[in-house]
Structure 1
């Protein structure tokens, strides 16, 4: 008799699929499981390496990476078994499937074997959640405790309370049987609580109900899906229903939304047409952009300027049938396309690696991970099972994922939507036979995209393209990184009026100043071309003497170092005359991956970079700087109302010392390979510095080595306490980007504020002056590693304020060194003194222009 004989028509008993110790879901160190986002159930910390079936059923889904599978019982109850945490990143290594998708299995039958030692070394945890996709009326009970034995110990019971299981969803095809729009009255939109009430109201109907808002479609039976709609008060929610009681469902749900779904919405009013009337846009008292009608403003994503012709690009059209009569054939087509795209991406990654283009190769390696994302695969296959074609299922799933990310109030995650869209377009192009390469464009083309993807950039004909624009995106996107490496001017977040320009319209893109110039005169064009020619000549002249030291005309030596983010950057910096590394950003080791880098992995990379710079060039390595705009997939940080004022920078390391300790140990172990200095980001107070210094002193004693420890000055409190900090820190390096943002209280990613962020504002200059004065009082040196150091116009000011070192972007090294050699420190100090007394950044820039004309 099968162990599943314990089940009856009213109760299903699940046997434990593994031997091990029981953990409640709430104790699983992953919010997706702990918060039951994927279903209810229990978790096991395994002592055995073979997963067996907990029930009689069918293998309805076996994940490609074999780290998880879904079983479906005869009563349509689905059980997900997920082996370990973050094991999808192992790409099948350490797993041996013993069944195939579609197989019928019995309780106790072996399903998957896994290498416990390998997983223990390479995955975040072996903890294995077992989840139930509960049908209506179902209740879990009899949850096991303590130690369980695989295939023998009852794990939990699922009671139906009179229901025979989940009813299959009504087919969502054709026009809905009922549809209505309703204005959302809730003060903060449909957040968790009203969403939960909506799901409860919807559960009383058999109709299939779908929702849409803000261009995003979603299910109506999931709190998280409703929250992904990113609704706000006054938004119009569209409710569609298919089925016998569709009309009753829509009517009831409209009433429920209007009543507030459990929240007090009595103060909300709509106009007589039933649509909330928003307050119209007004002309602001201060201008946020250009008042010149011939200039369309944007944000500099990659520097440069060029004359060219507008080409509207990136609007691909894919044609496919919506429905299919052969789901298995469509799944086969999908698998074939995924395989071809996977091979293409793998070859691209290998090619980029062979060309030592590490950043670019890592971007497309991340695309490979996205291609195998189990959540996307699951949604696509579910749609195909409902009778939709592979093209339709893939397109709609990607559309939902992209819409959800773009709707989040996080510029970095919203920027990553372009990567998902990029992967989605590759697969859809393969499915439909559409070419994703650019059409024949005119010479000196400036393509305009809605959002530029990495693949867009790598298919550009750089012999024709002189610059690019996008309506979305920003300076932190993957496209921006690649554009800078290609030396291609890129202006992001451009005014939408650029869409009104016809193809072939001649413009000037000035990414340095953040605008596209319309209707350029012959004089404007000549000026731009002369500027480029002069800039190129100056660069070539500076390159000839890049290896010489940067010494001012009156004999003051200024160290000019490089900001780098990889070994390739280090090698290039040496070629261009870097006297050291003023900032190695270690985030490249941590971002776009599922697990944290190991101590050995970090040690090897730090050692390679130190060796590349040589024994005499100092290398300042900054500890991990994440949080705020740089989240980590494997380090879930709590949702914050103001993430830039919350847990970011050194605060992450202080609150999670194991990550910081691992990095400190790796840094100290690599110290013998070169002249290492360590720098801490976002230090705001003495107690923060002392806490980290003690950790570093302890590890230094254990490893019998020591290095200088300095701090970045990025927040006003550090500048105000500069002398006190200088008594204990070995050096300062000013991060002018964040210091400007925090001093002026303006988010540099904000579409309206970005144009007002000015590092030459007198308030910022005073912070720099205070920092230099405090450091000098304690015989410490001060560098600048922020964007201001690479601004040739700002360099005289920085030297005049007392800056001793400039750490700049790699390409600008020769130009910055040449600029320093032209300057006289005494005159720079006089200039800085005058600038500190100006009223705003515009006055400072006017002063600089006047000063340069007198030079």
Structure 2
């Protein structure tokens, strides 16, 4: 903050230009509301650039949903609003990008937002930008009508402290005060944005009464004398407002405020809002399962499986605890005790996981131990204790605040880890309270229903009692989901809230593979499910006995059955289960959950271990780093993207960061002596991408004197459509049906409502697979499938019939899929595949293979 001199008096605050351009006084603004100082004193700038910088240091106090306006509040309480363009609110954010969020601390010159000047300039009335003081201070424009430089030149100086006015409260004390309340339905098309809010404030200034406005739709309430507070109500057309006026002239003030609202507060509004009769009727979706129509509650598979049991709701409730502490030293001692006990219990969890043969996932709880050592939570708690608070109160507030901050982060991986912070925090809090958080009192055959579930709750479940999990929230790729899958606990996320209407003890069938939970099933439905489970168990037992035998059809056609793995432990299990190869090694296991990129030695050692475990006769396809989208890296900063699944992910990471890709390729080539290594690139969408990365591989192969096969994943429709061209240049194809289906059908496979429509047996996907296989065969190349479709019992005959030569699947499914192939006749599979390609719906294909 710079102090300037104005007529011999020090200024309170100086503001630098938020944009470069021609500086004008606010009276010269092209917007009459701004020019009339209805919002406040300030300046206008005709910009020559398009990145808005912070004119002062402070905290982001407001960020309009349309991204065209941002406010900063200084430590001294002065609030500065920057409004880009005139009538830009109607663009609803199109053409704008924000770099900050509410609550962020910013410094002078920091980037706040940017805009596309060509797009916004063509759509808006003007690009002229106003910077105004919304808290009533006035100041002096520094060197008006000059060219100013953003972030450098001072453009506005706030002068001496404004004359203190008598507060409304003190005015009330001299006169009788009354309170009036009225409801009003907002008719402004874009809600209370800057212009109508400023007009409302001017109306209120004429009276000695205080006006409060409550948005009844979201519960937000504020005084009506602050522009940013009014905008913070987040109103829209049709918002139900409650207006409360308190003061000696409340009657006149209320009438003036209502007249202002009725007239639109300076905007053109409709006199008639849609009536209740005209409101859109609620109808069931035209496609897909209808929630509860047949007792089925849809969800998204987080861990596979099927279970029959009784619903049991678990709602986390903690006992009350005192806010005030009994003594600082005693409370600090209690906090240290709770943290120490939590550390010990986490170590016990790691030991338990190793005993349960899921020690490979213990890093989740090692990370929890590190979180307990993080001073961010404990120091905040200690400060609260030293101010007189109890250890329980201070710790609870501290870890919830830390979790909330993480949820607001742009990095989706870090934001998703808020549940880990809460998990650790609750562990300590329970020790401080002396309460247990276990589920050992649950009845047998429990299908557990929670809002969400933490990783440690999954690990500590009594699996003799809990046979399935459903949650209203959560992620299909969360730590909890990964652990549930490792422990063979079926887990369904994003189940509708209507599940709460069913009482504890309600009979349910959980089928996460199909993405639903069936409530109150009939005895016939239960019997069918039991029969399926028994049949599957018997088939699995029989398949295990001959798992080492090759997968050869009844008429002599061999299909290679490979494993999808993520580490050496998986590789060793795959060999025991009869895997003939590794069709997909997810190399990102080396890169995730760490602070730095893995070293060359780390990578070489890991690859050598996996190749050695598989042996020289079992090829291992190593997919190069596949992150971005739903798999960000903490140490790899990626720009915030509107749609990360269509952005910088997969091979695009390596193309844009060749040093990282080159290091991985070198490590693979250096480790290749230990077995039979292949390299595969993910998310290839065009030939120039493949040629660029293959050139890098060829360069490294020449240096190392080692040659390996190089292939690509077919998971983008463009790659399948160009398969005839790719086949001339690759050594093999591996079809990633999960992403190929997602991109072909334009459906996010994690979407809570649409994920059920994701099905790799969709005829469009089958045609892309057929196109890919034929292109490969023509050039003497082979095609595999490494998506989940490869382990679908109904899909295997069609995939074999289409000519797919390798099916790469999860390790536990290997024996069953091998047995399935042995039961098939290749000629019949070919006939089945040809017929499937003629069908026009998933349902018809499924009926064909049932």
Could you tell me how far apart the structure 1 residues matched to 2:331 and 2:272 are? 46
Q: In structure 1, what is the equivalent of residue 738 of structure 2?
A: 737
Q: Give how far 1:358 is off.
A: 4.6
Check 1:734–1:238 CA distance in 2 against 1; reply closer, same or farther (3 A cut). Answer: farther
Equivalent residues of 1:213, 1:235 under 8 A apart: no
The C-alpha deviation readout for 1:259-293, integer Å capped at 9, x for no partner, is: 9xx9x9977999799x9x99675433323446743
Could you tell me how far apart the structure 1 residues matched to 2:803 and 2:187 are? 56
Check 1:278–1:478 CA distance in 2 against 1; reply closer, same or farther (3 A cut). Answer: farther
Equivalent residues of 2:414, 2:634 under 8 A apart: no
The C-alpha deviation readout for 1:25-78, integer Å capped at 9, x for no partner, is: xxxxxxxxx99999789xxxxxxxxxxxxxxxxxxxxxxxxxxxxxxxxx9xxx
Equivalent residues of 2:591, 2:633 under 8 A apart: yes
Could you tell me how far apart the structure 2 residues matched to 1:513 and 1:620 are? 29
Check 1:390–1:684 CA distance in 2 against 1; reply closer, same or farther (3 A cut). Answer: same
Could you tell me how far apart the structure 2 residues matched to 1:37 and 1:774 are? 59
Check 1:705–1:527 CA distance in 2 against 1; reply closer, same or farther (3 A cut). Answer: same
Equivalent residues of 2:358, 2:487 under 8 A apart: no
Check 1:793–1:686 CA distance in 2 against 1; reply closer, same or farther (3 A cut). Answer: same
Could you tell me how far apart the structure 1 residues matched to 2:429 and 2:298 are? 33
Could you tell me how far apart the structure 2 residues matched to 1:696 and 1:563 are? 23
Q: In structure 1, what is the equivalent of residue 626 of structure 2?
A: 625
Q: In structure 2, what is the equivalent of residue 364 of structure 1?
A: 365
Equivalent residues of 1:358, 1:568 under 8 A apart: no
Q: In structure 1, what is the equivalent of residue 306 of structure 2?
A: 305
Could you tell me how far apart the structure 1 residues matched to 2:349 and 2:560 are? 38
Could you tell me how far apart the structure 1 residues matched to 2:672 and 2:267 are? 62
Matched ranges for 1:583-598 at <5 A: 583-598=584-599
Q: In structure 2, what is the equivalent of residue 635 of structure 1?
A: 636
Confirm or deny that 1:523 pairs with 2:524. yes
Q: In structure 1, what is the equivalent of residue 778 of structure 2?
A: 777
Look up the SS of the partner of 1:467 in the other structure: strand
Confirm or deny that 1:757 pairs with 2:758. yes
Query: TM-score when scaled to structure 1?
Result: 0.70
Could you tell me how far apart the structure 2 residues matched to 1:733 and 1:405 are? 37
Check 1:636–1:389 CA distance in 2 against 1; reply closer, same or farther (3 A cut). Answer: farther
Confirm or deny that 1:338 pairs with 2:339. yes
Check 1:518–1:411 CA distance in 2 against 1; reply closer, same or farther (3 A cut). Answer: farther
Q: Give how far 1:385 is off.
A: 5.8
Q: Give how far 1:532 is off.
A: 1.5
Confirm or deny that 1:494 pairs with 2:495. yes
Matched ranges for 1:778-793 at <5 A: 778-793=779-794
Could you tell me how far apart the structure 2 residues matched to 1:485 and 1:503 are? 27
Confirm or deny that 1:604 pairs with 2:605. yes
Q: Which sections of structure 1, spanning at least 5 residues, go unmatched?
A: 1-9, 12-33, 42-74, 76-128, 138-158, 164-178, 202-208, 240-246, 850-855
Check 1:318–1:658 CA distance in 2 against 1; reply closer, same or farther (3 A cut). Answer: farther
Q: Give how far 1:609 is off.
A: 1.1
Check 1:218–1:232 CA distance in 2 against 1; reply closer, same or farther (3 A cut). Answer: closer
Equivalent residues of 2:685, 2:716 under 8 A apart: yes
Equivalent residues of 1:216, 1:404 under 8 A apart: no
Matched ranges for 1:233-248 at <5 A: none
Could you tell me how far apart the structure 1 residues matched to 2:55 and 2:350 are? 33
Matched ranges for 1:627-666 at <5 A: 627-666=628-667
Q: Give how far 1:592 is off.
A: 2.3
Equivalent residues of 2:57, 2:106 under 8 A apart: no
Q: Which sections of structure 2, spanning at least 5 residues, go unmatched?
A: 1-9, 12-51, 60-75, 77-104, 111-134, 138-156, 162-180, 203-211, 243-249
Q: Give how far 1:295 is off.
A: 1.9
Q: In structure 2, what is the equivalent of residue 535 of structure 1?
A: 536
Could you tell me how far apart the structure 2 residues matched to 1:401 and 1:278 are? 42
Check 1:354–1:845 CA distance in 2 against 1; reply closer, same or farther (3 A cut). Answer: closer
Equivalent residues of 1:319, 1:432 under 8 A apart: no
Q: How many aligned positions are there?
A: 718
Q: Give how far 1:595 is off.
A: 2.1
Q: In structure 2, what is the equivalent of residue 559 of structure 1?
A: 560
The C-alpha deviation readout for 1:732-771, integer Å capped at 9, x for no partner, is: 1001011001101111111221111111110010011111
Q: In structure 1, what is the equivalent of residue 683 of structure 2?
A: 682
Choose 328-337 or 468-477, whichever is displaced more: 328-337
Could you tell me how far apart the structure 2 residues matched to 1:265 and 1:588 are? 56
Please identify the structure whose Cα radius of gyration is greater: 2
Choose 342-351 or 567-576, whichever is displaced more: 342-351
Check 1:182–1:648 CA distance in 2 against 1; reply closer, same or farther (3 A cut). Answer: farther
Look up the SS of the partner of 2:594 in the other structure: coil
Look up the SS of the partner of 2:783 in the other structure: strand
Matched ranges for 1:66-145 at <5 A: none
Equivalent residues of 1:311, 1:448 under 8 A apart: yes
Equivalent residues of 1:213, 1:231 under 8 A apart: no
Matched ranges for 1:276-291 at <5 A: 281-289=282-290
Q: Give how far 1:503 is off.
A: 1.4
The C-alpha deviation readout for 1:200-235, integer Å capped at 9, x for no partner, is: x9xxxxxxx9x9999999999xxxx99xx9978579
The Cα RMSD (Å) is 5.9
Look up the SS of the partner of 1:311 in the other structure: strand
Could you tell me how far apart the structure 2 residues matched to 1:436 and 1:184 are? 47
Choose 596-605 or 740-749, whichever is displaced more: 596-605
Equivalent residues of 1:412, 1:477 under 8 A apart: no
Equivalent residues of 1:554, 1:825 under 8 A apart: yes
Look up the SS of the partner of 1:494 in the other structure: coil
Check 1:619–1:332 CA distance in 2 against 1; reply closer, same or farther (3 A cut). Answer: same
